[in-house]
Structure 1
């Protein structure tokens, strides 16, 4: 009797992580590579891309780093073409790339600033997931699509309307993708991080006032860390999540329920 494969063994699996050169994205890419996957990292900073690839090399799998601005439709198409040319297929896609807003008051926010954020955080996720879905449909073997949202999708974020709007829309888009593509064996889920120590969030988390007011409201007693999302990425990429779709998974140390 043959032994069933381990559900979290990603040997032969190809994963794409946008914004995968730092923070949550890099932690996801690292965990996926450690589980045996071949991993492609997209990011706008070529030096950080290469540094991330070197960091992941120790796991022994095939790696690729591609410079790509996910808000540019042509760049996404070219990056996806290169990814598939290199690996021959795509099994999971983590649309994680994102930027923050300028922190301006709502009434002072220019339309150009609003669109600067939504261009990456919403349009970029759409372009990435669409390209990945097209490839998965062409393969005809299913797959996993994941979008990194935020608690800003569920809670009001003063001086962050563009970011909140993007992350809320991403959750709705993911659910719609999941329903439409389920019959093709493609599942789609969103991940909603809470307060996580990343290069994007640290300027806020390191504020003495913010630390004093917010950290006591986190039942886990600490800020999240990028590594808290690695095992979740492996689960969402793996066969273990085959029946898990159209969900929004909150990873916040209990913050939103306190």
Structure 2
């Protein structure tokens, strides 16, 4: 009997996959039948995640690497094609955030790391993912993780706000570049989400958690699975006429 799940026969690359939104997305895509290529720096956690997915009957491949390394991202895409023959979807989700200090107090190293991971990382992934998708009759779909900080100053650091604005700009430009080639490119405008990275930020300021919750009209933070579900939908056939979009997954934070 053939697999009738929506993502059966498809291949999805997910970065930042060792925890948080990326880990939730790995499970979500695999549960819908996709083979998942999981990329992150923490190799042991990736391999443990692969074992969980395989134990549940899914297909998964771990590629240890940093999105700031263009060569490694090329190798990750090549590994996906070598293992599964194609690349249909990409969820470029790896990110980095730091405490929301005033601009003049942000160290140069923090600024560079913020831009390298959030901006250069997405650039590195798309520039290697897109040529593969261009070579497929079916094209492909890409989702990049942006943030409410891509739309306004949120209290996050100026470096993070600038980086997420850049992600949104790249997303729109790529959507325009490849719209007639069958490649859709969208971004998630993500609100405060309870990930490990967020927990590290919250630990630096006891008042941040309530402030983040209050920013949402639902008065709560998101679960990683809620963001992963949005990425899954944007990659799927139900979003076939959606490209260049900045899709809010923010509990209404950008609505008011």
Same fold (TM over 0.5): yes
* 2:141 aligned with 1:144: yes
| CA shift for structure 1 position 52 | 1.7
> Which residue is equivalent to 2:220?
222
| CA shift for structure 1 position 161 | 1.5
> Which residue is equivalent to 2:111?
114
> Which residue is equivalent to 1:254?
252
> Which residue is equivalent to 1:69?
66
Q: Deviations over 1:7-40 (max 9, x none)?
A: 9711001000000111011111111100011101
Asked whether the 8 Å contact 1:178–1:188 carries over to 2, the reply is: yes
Asked whether the 8 Å contact 1:42–1:49 carries over to 2, the reply is: yes
Unaligned runs of 5+ in 1: none
Cα distance in 2 for residues equivalent to 1:6 and 1:67: 29
| CA shift for structure 1 position 150 | 0.7
Alignment size in residue pairs: 254
* 2:41 aligned with 1:44: yes
Unaligned runs of 5+ in 2: none
Higher mean Cα deviation, 155-164 or 33-42? 155-164
| CA shift for structure 1 position 102 | 5.2
TM-score, with structure 2 as normaliser: 0.92
> Which residue is equivalent to 1:233?
231
| CA shift for structure 1 position 199 | 0.4
SS at match of 1:100: coil
Asked whether the 8 Å contact 2:53–2:59 carries over to 1, the reply is: no
> Which residue is equivalent to 2:163?
166
Alignment counterpart, residue 78 of structure 1, candidates 60, 75, 80 = 75
RMSD: 2.0
> Which residue is equivalent to 1:244?
242
Cα distance in 2 for residues equivalent to 1:217 and 1:145: 28
| CA shift for structure 1 position 109 | 2.5
SS at match of 1:201: helix
TM-score, with structure 1 as normaliser: 0.91
| CA shift for structure 1 position 215 | 2.2
Alignment counterpart, residue 96 of structure 2, candidates 88, 95, 99 = 99
TM alignment of 1:46-61, pairs within 5 A:
46-61=43-58
Q: Deviations over 1:48-107 (max 9, x none)?
A: 111221222244222101001110111111221112111110000111011113544311
SS at match of 1:146: strand
> Which residue is equivalent to 2:122?
125
Asked whether the 8 Å contact 2:38–2:46 carries over to 1, the reply is: yes
> Which residue is equivalent to 1:89?
86
